[in-house]
Each structure stands twice: as structure tokens, then as C-alpha cells.
Amino acid sequence: MYRIYAEDGEWLGELSGKYRFEAGERSDYPAVGDWVWMKKLPGERKAVIHGVYARKSKFSRKAAGSTVEEQIVATNIDRVFLVMAMNRDFNVRRLERYLLTAYDSGAAPEIVLTKKDLCDDVEAKVREVETIAFGVPVYTVNSLIGEGTEQMIATLKRGETIALLGSSGAGKSTLLNSLYGEQRQKTGGVREDDDRGKHTTTHRELVVLPCGALIIDTPGMRELQLWEGGDSMDAAFRDIDALAAGCRFADCGHRAEPGCAVQAALANGTLERERYAGYVKLQKELAYIERKTDTAAAKAEKDRWKKIHKDMRGRTNR
């Protein structure tokens, strides 16, 4: 079942039988942010969904579990607010992962550092973020009292869609309440053992702000498994990409090759080893997903032809 916003209010929708039959995989189904073609049922606030219009952008991740399948988190996004708390849950390596996925989505990433009241050195955290997010806007806020959110509100535009993304307890729901101007989403406290917030949002939801902008609030994703991103590595790791341009060999693997500018930067300290380790880890993860996806696609194609041949044999026998 789906809740659909239309020009005449909210409707409850479900897929048509034909749509459900023809949907081959999870990504074929409507996701939050999609524009759909629907037919309203007379006499009730229900509608039948017949199709999804082409998506201009999408934020995806690998679905949970052992199967290699795409899970679409949100679609048709103009901007992505990557939300991270400035308490003990602050993690630059996790933010690198979110930035890579945001670049790959086709939407413009912006970083929102929340809970500034729990941070002893806000400027240090901002500097640390700026070393990995080149040219990306960075906001620091205390959403509970609206401190810093007025700067964000001034950038909101009627009709644009923004996704809030971040791990559990990063303060996304509290931030949404501050942007909305009232208690729109339920919020939770902070666990005492590790300073992480409690998980409060359990489903993805599209919220229309008073200014006319649309916000997609998502459940926290502490472990964001990549789906794609190979084409966006140069944007997410612009510093390493610039260094690689100075390597002696165009196909340098940045390991033990002579004249490697990346290894030279690691040796003289201009490139942090943690930064490079994160880069290598994400590259390996993307290569693994690509291999598994190719295998899964080949199996799906083989199964499709087996079904076609079976149907043809059945028709011949009749």
C-alpha cells in the first residue's frame, strides 16, 4: 500500500495486477519521491497505481541480506542533507560513504552537523569534514532550539525535494521538526553507553514543509552498503584523484609502482593513511558488488529464457 500526494489531497494506493505481474525486481516498484500514474476509484479515497514516471535521480543501497539486489531509498531528489551528530558518534569515514552514494544519486549533497551543544570544539569538527567534502556546504545546528537552522530554511525552495540521510540517532527527525516549525516527527533521546541516539523513524515518509519544499525523512542507516558509485569515486575522493594524475604510469595501482604520486603523498604526510584506507575499502566493495551483480544478471537472463522455452513447449504440446 502507498500513500500518494495529489493536487486534491492524500490518497491510498495499491499496484494494479498487471503492474505487479510485470515488476521484475525490487527497484521496479514505486519508492518515496516517485511520480506515479494512478486511477482514482469513485466514491473512496483510494487509487490504483499503473506506472512510475522516469526518475531524474535516485538514492540506492544494497538491500540487506545475502542477495545482491538494489533497494531504492528515495527518488527524484534535488538535494541531500547528510546528517551527522557532533558527539561520540561522529565518524568521517562513514560520511565518506554517504558522500559517495549522494554523488552517485545525481542530487547535490550538503552536510548538516547536529547536536552542536554536545561538542566541545565545533570548528575542529567542521575542518575535519571540509578535508573530505570539497566545496560541499556544511551547516552546524542545534535543532532543539533552532540554532543554525534558519540559515538552512533560507535556502529552501518551493517544489524542490530534499532527502535527510544519516545513521540512527543523528538527529534527522529533530532537524525536520525545526525546519517544519513544530513537532512533526517523533524524536528520541541519547543512549548513555555510547552517546548514540535512539532509532525513532521506522519508515520513509515525504513531508511537505510550510514553504512548499518537500523533505523525505528516512530510517537511520548505520551500515550503508553501496550499490553503485564507481563513476562518482573521483568526485568523492577529489584529492586522491588529483594526486593520481601525477603518477608516472596512467594505470598506476598506487601500491608499489615507481613514480606513484599517491604513495609519495602518504610518505610525506600530505595524504592521511586513514583517508586512503577508506578509499581502498570502498573501491574493493564496489568491485565486489559489480562482480556479484553481473553474476545475478546472468542468472536472471538464463531463468528468463528457460521460462520462455517452457512456455513455447507448452504451446506446441497443445
Confidence of residue 312 (pLDDT cuts 50, 70, 90): low
**Taking all residues of the chain, what is their mean pLDDT, rounded to a whole number?**
80
- Does residue 283 have a pLDDT over 90? no
Which DSSP letter does residue 26 get? G
pLDDT(181) > 60: yes
Choose among 108, 81, 94, 318: nearest CA to 218.
Answer: 81
Q: What is the pLDDT of residues 25-67, one digit of tens each?
A: 788 899 888 999 999 999 889 999 999 999 988 887 666 555 5
Q: Which amino acid is at 138?
A: V
> Is 168 assigned a ligand-binding role in the annotation?
yes
252 among annotated binding-site residues: yes
* CB contact set of 105 (below 8 Å; sequence gap of 6+): 57, 58, 59, 60, 77, 80
pLDDT exceeds 90 at position 218 = no
Q: Is 260 annotated as a binding residue?
A: yes
Amino acid of residue 43: G
- The top-scoring range by mean pLDDT among 2-6, 216-220, 282-286 is 2-6
101 is in an annotated binding site: no
**Is 169 annotated as ligand-binding?**
yes
Q: Per the annotation, does 166 bind a ligand?
A: yes
pLDDT at 142: 92
Q: Would you state the pLDDT for residue 184? A: 54
Phi, psi angle pair for 288, to nearest 5°: -65, -45
3-state secondary structure of 150: helix
Whether residue 116 is annotated as binding a ligand: the answer is: yes
Q: What pLDDT is stored for residue 201 in this prediction?
A: 41
Q: Where residue 157 falls among pLDDT bands split at 50, 70, 90?
A: very high
Kindly state the DSSP code that residue 91 receives in the 8-state scheme.
-
Q: Which residue has the higher pLDDT, 191 or 225?
A: 225
* Distance between CA atoms of residues 107 and 136, nearest Å: 12
- Known binding residue 174? Answer is yes
Q: Is 117 among the annotated ligand-binding positions?
A: yes
The strand pair at 79-85 and 108-114 is best described as parallel
114 known ligand binder: yes
Q: Does the annotation place 254 within a ligand binding site?
A: yes
**Is 239 labeled as ligand-binding?**
no
Instruction: Give the pLDDT band (50/70/90) at residue 318.
Output: low
Kindly report, residue by residue over 82-137, the tens digit of the pLDDT.
999 998 888 888 888 888 888 887 788 899 999 999 888 999 999 999 988 888 99
**187/171 Cα distance (integer angstroms):** 8
Residue 5 vs residues 17, 34, 76, 197: alpha-carbon distances, Å: 22, 10, 15, 31
Handedness of CA 170, 92, 94, 150 (dihedral sign): positive
Q: What percent of the chain has pLDDT over 90?
A: 29
Angstrom distance (rounded) from CA 262 to CA 249: 12
Neighbours of 212 (CB within 10 A): 11
Closest CA to 106 of 275, 235, 279: 235
CA distances from 218 to 63, 163, 228 (A): 15, 8, 19
Spatial distance between the Cα atoms of 208 and 210, rounded to a whole number of angstroms: 7
Instruction: Report d(CA 237, CA 83) in Å as an integer.
Output: 19
pLDDT in the model for residue 100? 83
For the full predicted model, state whether its pTM sits above 0.75.
no
- Domains and their CATH numbers in the chain: 2-52 (no CATH), 58-217 (3.40.50.300)
